């Protein structure tokens, strides 16, 4: 029985004035049950024992009517008195082993954990599930030990997945600041891929307090969270058949070419909005590149405007090349809007890692939402990997934004890119003389382009612009969409750089715009193909 508990929408109650107000807790919980919460924990840190038991009894009646388990926070005695399904124990509460002796094997015992050590101990002591937190800062709980974010929780999931049978099977929920605006991406990203594990451990549920108890309409709030849990996030690609990298059979190349041709045609057909929140240096060039590839550019840095813009079927580029505090809060608003609407977001972490401000900006933005594609040069992607929780042992100081020389072999780059993509569950592109791109399962290395791209300003940024349009027009397979965008961009650069009238970077820029334009038209009119791909 207790193995079949559904932890997916886990309600933790709160009886404080700030959250419950003057309403009756039992009525609020009943509404939440009607809305679809799957398990309830009665958490009340201030009532006297008599009142606790009487409220818990009323709650248990309601829960039983809906066939939903009721747990009591901290108080094993209250759980016993009421005869409910179990308890939830914090680190300062009764030891799990002692609680088990009192409650027996059939009752559910959950434990709050926020570190690998606490998780290991809770598993050893026989907890049935772990409440892992704190995910995000919240006003609901005072004395929060540690805000560990998606990265910290993912680390614990990987740790559990690498342990013994009990550890692999233990159920998990995350807690702290979960609400309707972040639930889908949190669940999407709380997946713990490890090498050679085809079915990585995922989070079994989300625990919420204020998103339900603090809502004026707990039933609708619960139903909405349940709907979000049950539906794929709007940004999720609808298909991605796994195949494996460097398996470059002729057939695969051909299929990639066909997919790329289709993707380019779609950009022209749909002329998607490319919404750029980009740096001061490249605004004009980026708008021109978007037009040349057949997209519709808008350069709009005002976050509130993104609510409307995100509904137009386009893609967003967040380029932090000239980051400011205002800029960051605008980006965060736009990220939320695009995640909700499902429009793709390309994150271009320009100079990430170069300064403390940019490192913090990178992790702030990674916390703010889900990026469908993260693109950057080697150093930028390394900084993103660190922000994503990787421990990378290199002491390379980041130099300029566009500084050259690779620190890693192609295989190492491939490893970093594919692990980061698997972890973030998105597409990661590391640009360089050979670009490496992966969605965590599939991987391509592309060596097109020309050195002039490194001699003009904004080539990386405008590749981001290009990719936003390609992803928006081709949502079903974002990896292939991005490959097509790279090919369009880089093959156009090759054509431009080798033209007779192009003498250097200065004459290259207008020729590049021309070639971006005509390359697209050639594909649309079936006069060109992508066979110039350099593997």
Residue 352: CB minimum distance to ligand 3NM, A: 29
Q: Which is nearer to ligand 3NM, 171 or 375 (CB)?
A: 171
Q: Which of these ranges, 73-81, 156-164, 321-329, 460-468, lies near Mg ion under the rule CB under 5 A?
A: 73-81
Q: Which is nearer to ligand 3NM, 215 or 278 (CB)?
A: 215
CA dist list (Å): 244 to 250, 296, 304, 438, 441: 14, 34, 41, 10, 7
10: nearest Cα among 165, 215, 222, 201 = 222
Q: What are phi and psi of 297, to 5 degrees?
A: -80, 145
With CB under 5 to 8 Å by kind, the binding choice for 149 among ligand 3NM, Mg ion, none is none
Q: Is 493 helix (H, G, I), strand (E, B) or coil?
A: helix
Residue 223: CB minimum distance to ligand 3NM, A: 17
Residue 218: CB minimum distance to ligand 3NM, A: 13
Q: Which of these ranges, 82-90, 116-124, 166-174, 456-464, lies near Mg ion under the rule CB under 5 A?
A: 82-90
Q: Which is nearer to ligand 3NM, 186 or 487 (CB)?
A: 186
Dmax (CA) for the chain in angstroms is: 90
Residue 73: CB minimum distance to ligand 3NM, A: 8
CA dist list (Å): 302 to 275, 291, 310, 335, 408: 11, 21, 12, 12, 38
Secondary structure (H, E, C), 220-282: HHHHHHHHHHHCCCCCCCCCCCCCCCCCCCHHHHHHHHHHHHHHHHHHHHHCCEEEEECCCCC
Active site residues: 461
Q: Give the H or E element holding residue 72.
A: strand 70-73
Q: Identify the residue among 90, 200, 454, 505 touching Mg ion (CB under 5 A).
A: 90
With CB under 5 to 8 Å by kind, the binding choice for 206 among ligand 3NM, Mg ion, none is none
Q: Which of these ranges, 31-39, 56-64, 69-77, 160-168, lies near Mg ion under the rule CB under 5 A?
A: 69-77
Q: Which is nearer to ligand 3NM, 145 or 227 (CB)?
A: 145
Q: Is 93 in the site for Mg ion (CB under 5 A)?
A: yes
With CB under 5 to 8 Å by kind, the binding choice for 74 among Mg ion, ligand 3NM, none is Mg ion
| DSSP letter assigned to residue 310 | G
Q: Is 118 in the site for Mg ion (CB under 5 A)?
A: no
Residues that bind ligand 3NM (CB under 6 A): 12, 112, 131, 133-134, 138, 140-141, 144, 175-178, 208-211
Residue 57: CB minimum distance to Mg ion, A: 21
Q: Is 14 in the site for Mg ion (CB under 5 A)?
A: no
With CB under 5 to 8 Å by kind, the binding choice for 171 among ligand 3NM, Mg ion, none is none
Structure tokens at 522: 């050639």
Beta-carbon contacts of residue 104 (< 8 Å; ≥ 6 apart) = none
Paired residues of 112 in beta bridges:
131
305: nearest Cα among 276, 279, 281, 271 = 276
CA distance 242 to 438: 11
Q: Which is nearer to Mg ion, 22 or 143 (CB)?
A: 143
Residue ranges binding Mg ion (CB under 5 A): 74, 90, 93
């Amino acid at each position: 029985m207790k193995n079949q508990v559904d932890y997916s929408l886990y309600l933790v109650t709160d009886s404080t004035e700030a959250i419950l107000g003057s309403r009756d807790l039992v009525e609020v919980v009943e509404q939440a049950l009607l809305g679809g919460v799957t398990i309830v924990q009665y958490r009340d840190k201030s009532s006297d024992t008599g009142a606790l038991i009487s409220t818990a009894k009323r709650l248990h009646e309601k829960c039983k009517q809906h066939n939903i388990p009721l747990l009591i926070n901290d108080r094993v005695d209250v759980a016993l008195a009421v005869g409910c399904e179990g308890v939830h124990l914090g680190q300062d509460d009764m030891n799990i082993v002692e609680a088990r002796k009192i409650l027996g094997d059939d009752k559910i015992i959950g434990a709050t954990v926020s570190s690998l050590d606490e998780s290991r101990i809770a598993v050893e002591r026989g907890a049935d599930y772990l409440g892992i937190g704190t995910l995000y800062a919240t006003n609901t709980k005072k004395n929060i030990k540690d805000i560990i974010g998606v990265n910290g929780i993912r680390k614990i999931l990987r740790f559990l997945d690498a342990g013994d049978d009990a550890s692999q099977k233990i159920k998990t929920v995350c807690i702290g600041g979960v609400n309707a605006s972040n639930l889908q991406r949190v669940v999407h990203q709380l997946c713990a891929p490890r090498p050679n594990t085809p079915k990585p451990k995922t989070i079994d549920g989300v625990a919420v307090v204020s998103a339900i108890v603090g809502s004026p309409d707990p039933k609708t709030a619960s139903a909405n969270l349940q709907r979000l849990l049950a539906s794929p996030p709007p940004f999720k690609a609808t298909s991605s058949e796994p195949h494996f990298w460097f398996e470059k059979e002729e057939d695969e190349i051909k299929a990639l070419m066909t997919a790329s041709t289709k993707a380019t045609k779609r950009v022209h057909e749909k002329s998607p909005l490319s919404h750029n929140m980009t740096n001061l240096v490249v605004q004009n060039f980026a708008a021109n590149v978007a037009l040349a590839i057949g997209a519709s550019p808008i350069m709009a840095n005002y976050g509130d405007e993104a609510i409307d813009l995100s509904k137009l079927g386009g893609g967003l580029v967040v380029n932090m090349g000239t980051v400011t505090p205002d800029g960051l809060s605008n980006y965060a608003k736009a990220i939320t809007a695009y995640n909700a609407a499902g429009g793709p977001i390309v994150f271009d972490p320009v100079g990430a890692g170069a300064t403390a401000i940019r490192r913090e900006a990178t992790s702030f933005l990674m916390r703010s939402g889900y990026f469908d594609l993260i693109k950057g040069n080697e150093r930028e992607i390394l900084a993103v990997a660190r922000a994503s929780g990787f421990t990378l042992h290199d002491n390379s100081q980041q130099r300029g934004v566009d500084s050259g020389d690779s620190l890693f072999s192609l295989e190492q780059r491939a490893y970093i890119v594919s692990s980061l993509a698997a972890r973030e569950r998105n597409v990661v592109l590391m640009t360089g003389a050979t670009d490496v791109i992966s969605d965590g399962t599939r991987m391509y290395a592309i060596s097109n382009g020309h050195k002039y791209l490194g001699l003009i300003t904004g080539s990386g940024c405008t590749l981001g612009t290009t990719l936003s349009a390609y992803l928006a027009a081709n949502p079903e397979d974002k990896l292939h969409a991005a490959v097509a965008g790279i090919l369009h961009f880089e093959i156009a650069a090759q054509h431009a750089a080798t033209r007779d009238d192009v003498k250097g970077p200065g004459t290259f820029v207008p020729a590049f715009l021309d070639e971006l334009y005509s390359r697209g038209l050639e594909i649309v009119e079936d006069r060109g193909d992508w066979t110039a791909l350099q593997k």
